[in-house]
Each structure stands twice: as structure tokens, then as C-alpha cells.
Structure 1
Amino acid sequence: MTSSLPDPIAAAQRFFGSAEFSSILTTVIFGTLFSSHALIRMLGNPGFSAMVATLVVAALLSAISQHREVSWSERIPLTVVVFVLWCALSVAWTSKTGATLSALNFQIGVALLGLYIGAFRDVIQMVRALGNALRVLLGVSLGLEILSGLLIDMPIVFLGIEGHLAQGGPIQGIFGSRNDLAFVAVIALITFGIEWRTRSVPPGLAWGSIVLATALLLFSGSAIQIGVAFCVAVTLLAMMAIRRRPLAERRNWQIVFFTGAALAAFLAWMFRSPIVTQLRATKELETRLTLWQSVMDTARQHPLEGWGWVGAWPNGVQPYFAINFDDGTRHQSALGAFFDLYLQVGLVGLALFVVLLVVALVRSLLVATSRQSVVYLWPSLVLVALSITSLAESTILTGAGWLLLVIAASAASQNMSWRNRLRPTLADLSP
């Protein structure tokens, strides 16, 4: 007598390999990484690490169940792999092996989650999942700010909410700082705008989400992210103008665009002090300049290899404790991704990361200005936001910022991979 019960392994494969599971898992991944500050405050670092590890296991089971549907050699950006390998090599020379191994585990875990999303979800599916997650997180942030600033008129200390909504801000939401809230709001604006243009959500929901993200961006009072939003808007207008040109003319316009972008980036860096002053962020600039000088002085002691990868600065670990002690502060980063990279992984790691970022950015911009669907604008605009933010924050190196970078790099790699173009050539040469 044969059993009518399904094979447990086949049933598990169908469950983990289903489109519904991938969709839910993607939304949960975005929600978890973007709400990391609140989760760590509630669960502690061990609890949050356990959540990320569980998501990695779930993603691996889902990937294994769908392994026949994806060619991993085409989906994994080699620039991401090389950068992570260099960070891993820093274990050999770091003086704090435990901190480096812990940071590497988190970095690799988040990278695996990003590669999973990039490999198994289309861009529109990524946008929908991220939009759903950010609507909830921004809504919760606004609700708690209203509770703290208007209803009970007292801070919610364990979440870092100071309750300044009645004074017009600045507010932090559940993200820990006004700059982090503003960064999430900018990413949300990009995502909600793509949702509206692709009609993937009802127009009322799309516009309500855009209003929510805009309000939180303004109430955050972050001059840095308001400047980022302006640069993203200018980039969007430029790309839309190129997309309207005839196909035969687009290559020339793309060259003009990249040349202008490079020149604008150079000028913005050269005149960063007047720009920040005009944005009324002089105090923030002074804080960053002081910190950057300390970071540069420390980094020059190990210029090529750095002090060892640690991601977010651990408490009580050198040289980060000494930098904070000299400045009388408690920074958890160098407030600038490139300064953090120079300090932690040296000039070699900094160069590898710049190659990763530039290759992903160029690929995504070429795809966005060549493909007909507006959904391809999302990776390029996210990368523009990450790139500009990295000049004044280290968000791109850890957590949600690192996740978005890996996803965008993976999406760009799929559409403009040199390995895809090489395969037909190799096939023609084979006997």
C-alpha cells in the first residue's frame, strides 16, 4: 500500500521555491534592514543578528529550491565579490580579530540577501516589496513622532525619538537620527515615484506615500539629504531628456551626460564648503571636518591596508575609541564612506569600492537611458542617492545602504554583463 502523503523534501522545495515565499521574504528583508536601529534597541545586537541569520538561511533555502531557474555566474557582480574578499583579507592584519569577524559575518550575510533579491526578483518586484516595507516604517515613524511630540509631549528614549514635531523638527522616527530618516525618505520618494509611474499601486496610495515621504524629509531638517533629493531630481530630468531622444542620438547624449556628471561631481567636491554653508549646514560641516581630519591622521599609519574591516565602529576598540576621545564625541562612523574605507581597508579597499560603485552606476545609467520601461530608472536613481550620500555619511557600507548597493549592482550586472556578451563569442570559437 503506497502512502498518499507528499514527499517532505518535495513539499519543502515547492514551499521555499514558490513566488509567494520569495515575495514575502523580500519584503521582510527590506523591512528588517531598514528598521535595524529600532530592532537593535528592542532586541539587542544578538537578537538582530539572529534575525538576519534566519533571513539568510531562508534566502539560501529559497535559492536552492530555484537553482535551475538562475545562472549565478551572470547574476553575481564580480566587483562586489572582490571588494568583500579584500575586507575578509583584513582579518590577517587587524588587531581586533573578533570585531572584524563579526563585521564580516554581517557584511557577507547582507550581501547574500542582496544577491538573492537581485537574482530572483525583477526590478518591479523589488520596487513593490521595498515600497510596501517603507510605507509601513515611515507610517510608524510619523505615528510615534505624533505620539511623542503632540500627544504625550515627552521623548521615547529607547527608540531615540526626541519629540520635536510640535516645534517643526528635527525628527528622527524609528531610524535613530534625522539624517537616517531623511535618507530613508529619499529612497522612499524614488520608490513611490516609480510605483506611481508604473501604476503598480493605486494612484491614491502612490500619492499618499509620496506626501508622507516628503513631509518626513522636510521635518527631518536634514540639509544633506535635501541636497541629495535635489541632485536625484536633476539626474532624473537629465535621464528623461535622454530617453526622449532618437535611438541613434542617445549614445552621444549619454557621453555628454556622463561628462557633465563627472564635472559636476568634481566641482561639488571642490566647493563643498560653500555649498554646505548655503544649505545652512555649517555646524554639521564643522563637525565632519574635525572628524575627517582625525580619521585621516589615523589612517595614514596604515595607508595601503587599513586597520581592518569593522563596518560600524565598535565601542571601546582602537583606533575608533581614540578618535572619538580626541573629538569628545561618540561617532559610530567617519560620517563619510570614503573616509571610513580609507581608515578600515586602506587605499586598496577604497579603490576597489570606487570601482564597484562607478561600474554599477555607469551600467545602471546606461540601462536607464536605453530601456523603454521607467522601472529601470529605479536602480540608477538609488545609486545616485547612495553615491552622493556617501560623501557625508557611511550608510552605503552597512545595513540597508549596503543591501541597496548590492541589489542595484546585481540588477545592473544582469542587464550589461560582459560575461553575457562573451558567451556567444566563446560558443563561436568552440569546435
Structure 2
Amino acid sequence: MTSPRSRLLVRLLAVLVMFVGFAGQFVRNLLGWIGFGVVDGLLAVAVVVAIILLRPRMAWRRVPKSLVAFLLLAVVSIAWSFYPGASAAGAGVLIVTTLAGVFLGLCLSWAELVRTFGVALRWILGLSLAFEFWTAAVSGPILPFFFDASQYGEPPYPKAFYWSRALLLHGGPIEGIVGNRNLLGFVALLALIIFAVQLAAKSVRRFWGIFWLVVAVAVFLLTRSATVILAAVVVAVAVGFVLWARRANPDGRRPIYLTALGTVVVVVGASIALFPVILKLFGKSEDFTGRFDIWSAVIHLAQQRPAFGWGWVSYWAPWVHPFSDLAERKGVVYLQAHNAWLDVWFQLGVVGVVVFGALIVSTLWRSWFTAIDRPRHGLATDEPYAAITLVPVLLMAALLAQSLAESRILIEGGWITLVTLCLITKRSQSSAERIP
């Protein structure tokens, strides 16, 4: 599949994968779980066929062992799982999602990957603004199409039930087609990274690049997501350190690392000391919108099975114990721990946290040196290189920041992005591929 037409099909499939990965809730709200299953199944088949036809190569010694170990641990956890049926389903979802990341990480060039992210994110942002305008000006607050609200009495229902609360003309917060302001805000943050890189690399027309950058900023602000604002601060700090490291001699980077370590210590200490003030500043309740209660419940269960956990489940399964009432707040049952690290500890124990940590650290390590070191093995050294190689480390910074308040790095678009970055940085580390 090397003809222009076949590469166009590959890129189209890649855009669909990323779109559904980050806007899966849009498909579920529109078509229901059955419709979502059909769409997901068709995409999975297409991805497998594409991988078979493209036959991407990676020597076993170059395969990220931490990624393989995490997948094996999740699958094997079925053997000791408290809910083996749900674990089997969760392992299947994890494998399918991983295949999507394998397709993106091994079958696309760097330029195609950035372009894929850009197109998918533009569609999500554009459709979200159009959807929010329609609900604000025409329909009013809207529930998911396949949601039966009759069991909850008369409206208004809990905020989390609504697909959109039609608040665009009031300045937000808006939920967009993804039905969640934190997720939409995070998509906008990823878009800011990608669109800025594309502008710097001159891979898009300046007018349209600036236009979509403004759209991303507008959506980012309209979501009013405190967690995403904090993630944006982390990304901005990462940009500063990367640019500093690029200008420094490789032998003179110790002050950079010491400053980075000091910054982390100071920020963590200040966050703990000033946490009530920070919550008030962002309009959050004292329990961090219920997260403290959820974390406490998850920690209590994790301590009962600390070594290997209760069994992998990916999405929490609300039809099995203990998920049916583990994280209920104001009539809403939440299906994640709102912290990826606690979620991994709960599901796969300390062993899972160690393996997941190895996956994160190794991917972040390669992403960092991809961003700050002039490439070897014949990689490009022109200006597009300078911009495009920022993508992995900045996306990793965003994912890691989000992982402290959300578990989305373990599912759908978050996991796809992590696997993609893990593989493409590993691939470029050992190949003569030009980054742009």
C-alpha cells in the first residue's frame, strides 16, 4: 500500500481511529452502545486489515517490553480477577485499543501522524461548537438519544446526565459532542499543541493555522475545566524546559535537570499547602468535585488486594460489584477512579503500577531526547524537525498531568495516544526515517 491512493486511505482510517478514540462518547450518545459496538468493530477490522497489508516491521529487540508486559499482565489478571467476565471483556477492549495505537505508531510517518491528529481534532472542535450553538439557540439542554431518564423523575437531572446543557451563549461551560467538559477541554489542549506545531513547521496555511488555533483557545476557555487548565500549565512549563535544553550543550544540562527537580518539589509542596486556595480559585468544592471520596473508596479496596489487584477491567463495569456503587455522587455513578495511577493500583496492584510506570517513564524518556537532541541515523535537521519533534514530549506532559485527575490515559483516545507515542519514538530511535 504505497500508492498515493492507498496512503490516502491509510490517512483517512487513521483520522477515523483518532476521532472515535477521543469522541467515542459522541458515537455512544448518538447511536447507543450497540451502534458504538458496530462502529468500533468495523474500525477494528479495518485496522487489522491495514496492519496486515502494510506489514510494518519492528525487530523484537526494539519492541517496547514495558508495553508488552502491561498487556500480558492485564490479560493474565483474568485468572485472579474478582469479576472474570468483566476482566475478559476489559482485556479484549484493551487489546483492540492497543491495535489502533500500533497502527498509528508503526504505519504512519511523523508528518502523517501530526496531520492525522490535526484533522481529527479539528472535526471534534468544529462539530462541538456547531452542536453547542444548536443546543443554545434551538433545542435547549439535550440528553443522549438512548438515555432513559424516566426512572429519575422530572427534570432537571444531574449535570453529568446531559449531553449538552446549552450554555454556549452564557459563556459555558460547554460539553461539546464528547459530552464532558473535562474531555473537551483536554481535546482543545491537545489541539493547541498540534496546531501550534503545524504553524511552526509551516505544514498548514498560515490563515487556517491561526484560525484553528483561535478555535482551540475558544473551546479551551469555554469548557472552564480546572484540571485541564492545570494540565496546560504543565505543558507550558515543559515547553520552557525543552527550549532551554535545546540551547544548552549536551554536557551542560545538569542545571536544567536540577532546576526541573526543584520546580517539581516546589510546585508539589505549594499545591499541598495552598490546596484550599487553589480549589476556591477554580470554583471547585472542598472535596475536589467528589474526587476525594472516590479516591478514598478506591484506596480502601486496593489495600485489600495490594500486590496484583482486583483484575483488569478498563472501563469500570457498573453491572458488577464493586463498581455498581463504588463511585456514586448526586445520583451519578462514575466509572473511573479519576486518577490513572490509583486505577492501575486498584486493578493490577503494585505490580501493575510498576509496569505502567516503566511504560510511562520509558516513553517520556525517548520523547524528551527526541525533542532536545539533534537527530541521528539520518533524521532531518531542518526547521520542521525543530517543531515536529516537540509533539511527543508535549503530548506526554499533557497525558501525565491529566492522569492525576482522570483515568482517561488508560482508555480510548488516551491509551491510543500513549501506545502511538511509545511505538513511534521507539521506531525513530532505531531507524533512518526522516521525522518530517
Give TM-score scaled by structure 2 length.
0.86
Asked whether the equivalents of residues 52 and 109 of structure 1 are also in contact (C-alpha less than 8 Å), the reply is no
Distance 1:246 1:326 in 2: 52
1:29 aligned to 2:17?
yes
Question: Aligned to 2:305, what secondary structure does the other structure show?
Answer: coil
Partner of 1:84: 71
Say if 1:199 and 1:141 are closer, same or farther in 2 by CA, change over 3 A: same
Out of 398, 401, 406, the residue aligned to residue 388 of structure 1 is 401
1:335 aligns with 2:338: yes
Provide the residue aligned with 2:323 in structure 1. Answer: 320
- 1:53 is aligned to 2:41: yes
Moved more, 96-105 or 330-339: 96-105
Question: Cα–Cα, structure 1 residues 412 and 176, in superposed 2: closer, same or farther, change >3 Å?
Answer: same
CA distance in 2, matches of 1:148, 1:61: 39
Query: Deviation at 1:267?
Result: 3.5
- Pick from 238, 241, 246 the counterpart of residue 243 of structure 1: 246
- Between the aligned partners of 2:95 and 2:267, the Cα distance in structure 1 is 30
Q: Which of these residues, 184, 197, 201, is aligned with residue 187 of structure 2? A: 184
* Inter-partner Cα distance in structure 2 for 1:324 and 1:287: 9
* Displacement of 1:92: 0.5
Distance 1:253 1:266, change over 3 A: same
1:63 and 2:51 equivalent? yes
Q: Is the 8 A contact 1:38 1:174 kept in 2?
A: yes
Letter in structure 2 aligned against 1:256:
L
Higher relative contact order (CA 8 A, sep 6+): 2
Rounded Cα–Cα distance in structure 2 between residues aligned with 1:179 and 1:87: 27
Relative distance call for 1:101 and 1:277 in structure 2 (3 A) is same
Question: 2:128 matched to 1:158?
Answer: no
Amino acid at match of 1:78: K
Match of 2:6 in 1: 18
Correspondent of 2:117 among 130, 135, 140:
130
Gaps of 5+ in 1: 1-12, 421-431
1:423 corresponds to which residue? none
Q: Is the deviation greater in 376-385 or in 123-132?
A: 123-132
The residue type paired with residue 265 of structure 2 is L
Match of 1:256 in 2: 258
Q: Which moved more, 1:336-345 or 1:57-66?
A: 57-66
Q: Would the aligned equivalents of 2:58 and 2:427 in 1 still touch at CA under 8 Å?
A: no
Tell me, yes or no, if structure 1 residue 403 matches structure 2 residue 413. Answer: no
The letter of the residue matching 1:394 is: S
Q: What's the offset of the Cα at 1:271?
A: 4.6
Deviation at 1:257, TM superposition (A): 5.7
Counterpart CA distance in 2 for 1:300 and 1:327 is 26
Give 1:262 deviation, angstroms: 4.9
The within-5 A match list for 1:265-280 is: 266-267=268-269, 270-271=272-273, 273-274=275-276, 275-280=278-283
Gaps of 5+ in 2: 146-162, 375-380, 432-436
**Is 1:379 aligned to 2:382, yes or no?**
no
**2:350 maps to what in 1?**
347
Relative distance call for 1:92 and 1:158 in structure 2 (3 A) is same
Whether the 8 Å CA contact 1:15–1:21 is kept in 2: the answer is no
Shift of 1:34: 1.4
CA contact (8 A) 2:241 2:260 kept: no
Please say which of residues 115-124 and 383-392 is displaced more in the overlay. Answer: 115-124
Match of 2:156 in 1: none
Higher alpha-carbon deviation: 151-160 or 277-286: 277-286
User: Which amino acid in structure 1 is aligned with residue 239 of structure 2?
Assistant: L
Quick check: 1:358 aligned with 2:361?
Answer: yes
In structure 1, the residue matched to 2:210 is 207
CA deviations on 1:341-380 (whole Å, 9 max, x unpaired) are 1111111111211111111112211210113522011011
Task: Describe the shift of the 1:325–1:395 C-alpha distance in structure 2 as closer, same or farther (beyond 3 A).
Answer: closer
* Structure-2 change in CA distance of 1:335 and 1:236 (3 Å): same
User: Is the contact made by 1:75 and 1:115 (CA closer than 8 Å) also made in structure 2?
Assistant: no
**Under a length normalisation based on structure 1, what TM-score does the superposition of the two structures give?**
0.87
Tell me what 2:152 maps to. none
Alignment size in residue pairs: 403
Change (3 A) 1:17 1:82: farther
| Change in CA separation of 1:107 and 1:257 when aligned onto 2, cut-off 3 Å | farther
Counterpart in the other structure of 2:132: 145
Contact 1:76 1:115 in 2 (8 A): no
* Distance (Å, rounded) in 2 between the aligned partners of 1:75 and 1:229: 32
8 Å CA contact 1:238–1:257 kept in 2: the answer is no
* RMSD of equivalent CA atoms: 2.4
Distance 1:35 1:320, change over 3 A: same
1:121 CA displacement:
1.2
Moved more, 69-78 or 171-180: 69-78
Is 1:120 paired with 2:107?
yes
Give, in whole Å, the separation in 2 of the partners of 1:231 and 1:316: 37
